[in-house]
Each structure stands twice: as C-alpha cells, then as structure tokens.
A and B are shown apart, each in its own frame.
Chain A
C-alpha cells in the first residue's frame, strides 16, 4: 500500500485481557516506531525497530508491553493483562532513515484506538 496501515482501527477489550495491535509499514522502510497518545497530549515514544531488532525499547511502560518485528516488515505490539490506563491511541510510524542520519521524517499510520473497560 501507499502508506502505513494499522489494524484494527478500534479495539475494545476488558481489563485483564490480552491484545495485539498490528502495523504494516511503508514498503522499504527499515525503521519502525510505536507511539502512544492519550487524549489531549502529544504522542509518546514506546519502541523503535531497525530491521528485525528492537534498537530502543526504553519507552515501553512496563513488562506487560512487548513488540516484535520478526521479518523486518510488519510489527505487532502486544499488551498483556490490559489495564484501564492502557486506553489510548496507539500510533505506528515508519521511516527510511537509519540511526545516525540527520533527517528522519516519520510517516504515521491512522492509529488503533484501544479502549479497556
């Protein structure tokens, strides 16, 4: 596709359940990013992949959050034992730039709105 796609667009789950959010980056983009955005705030960084490996996962809030990118393309963000505080829009972005480049314009997907009841 032409842009970054994310599925599902909306996810409603119950407290304690497990969820998976998927991101399909722009073809050829080696860098992939996950952000979380709460209402009225800017996106907050969660994790960054360069290829298949997580180059920086320091933004993950706790060990209930995990992300993979096994073939260097599609990524899945996994949240275990969801809590109401996990409710937010989860944004994925991809970039052609690699670490150390000066310009790293990121292209964002439409996001997944997660609601934990």
Chain B
C-alpha cells in the first residue's frame, strides 16, 4: 500500500521559477528518498535524507524533513524545461528496514520554456 502522499499531484511553472513538492507519510522511517521518473519508466535517485537530518542540498535541489509532522519537501530552484518529469518520495520504514521502499503517488512537474 502507498504510504506517502505527494502534493500537488500536478504542478506547472515557467522556466526559471522554483518548484516545491511536498510529501507526507504515516509511519516511523529510517530515511526518505526522492526519485525522478521520465516517461513512466526507470526511476533516478535524486537525494536521500536520514531521519536525524532536517535539511539537505544537492545542486539545485533542497530537501527538508520534519519527522514530527511526518512530512518532507523537495525544492527545485531555477527550474529548467529538462526538469519536466514525475517526482516521487519514498520512505524506508523502520519496520521494514533495508528492504522495501514505500512510494507516494508522485507529483507531475511541467516546466514551460
């Protein structure tokens, strides 16, 4: 079953603007990961944030994690048309540590040139 819920489900912005996507989850986690998917095929790992971390940066990506609210956000700064894709959060839950990832339903981001 899906643990995460992303919002918004779809986001359309202009090139150069920032894009913020949110993810909520239900159970205690070891870490939370964000993945990107183009055209409904393979997923590409973007960033992992551990449960004892609050913020992490990677290039134009910024991820925050609030374990008290069981939520995370992904910020993409200075977006480009090539950022158009679906973005998923995935949790590594404590109860299934190291085995499965539990994915949300994703946010479809469209960056218009």
User: Contacts of A48 on B, CB cut-off 8 Å?
Assistant: 99-100
User: Contacts of B45 on A, CB cut-off 8 Å?
Assistant: 105-108
Nearest-neighbour CB distance to chain B for A44, whole angstroms, equals 7
Closest 9 CB pairs of A and B: A42-B103, A99-B98, A45-B100, A110-B42, A108-B43, A48-B99, A56-B99, A108-B42, A43-B103
| Interface size classification for chain A | 20 to 34
**A101 and B43 contacting across the interface, CB-CB below 8 Å:** no
| Interface size classification for chain B | 20 to 34
- Contact residues of B between 35 and 74, Cβ < 8 Å to A: 35, 40-45, 48, 50
**A33 and B100 contacting across the interface, CB-CB below 8 Å:** yes
Q: B97 interface residue, CB < 8 Å from A?
A: yes
**A37 and B48 contacting across the interface, CB-CB below 8 Å:** no
Q: A62 interface residue, CB < 8 Å from B?
A: no
Q: A117 interface residue, CB < 8 Å from B?
A: no
* Residues on B facing A (Cβ under 8 Å): 1-2, 4, 30-31, 33, 35, 40-45, 48, 50, 88, 90, 92, 96-106
Nearest-neighbour CB distance to chain A for B88, whole angstroms, equals 5
- Distance of A107 Cα from B88 Cα, bound (Å): 14
A-B contact count (CB 8 A): 77
A-B contact pairs, 13 of them (CB 8 A): A42-B4, A42-B88, A42-B104, A42-B105, A44-B1, A89-B40, A89-B41, A91-B42, A93-B43, A104-B92, A106-B101, A108-B45, A110-B42
- Distance of A111 Cα from B44 Cα, bound (Å): 12
- Distance of A105 Cα from B97 Cα, bound (Å): 12
- Distance of A4 Cα from B45 Cα, bound (Å): 13
**A44 and B98 contacting across the interface, CB-CB below 8 Å:** no
- Distance of A43 Cα from B73 Cα, bound (Å): 19
Q: A19 interface residue, CB < 8 Å from B?
A: no
Q: A103 and B40 in contact (CB under 8 A), knowing A42-B2, A44-B103, A56-B100?
A: no
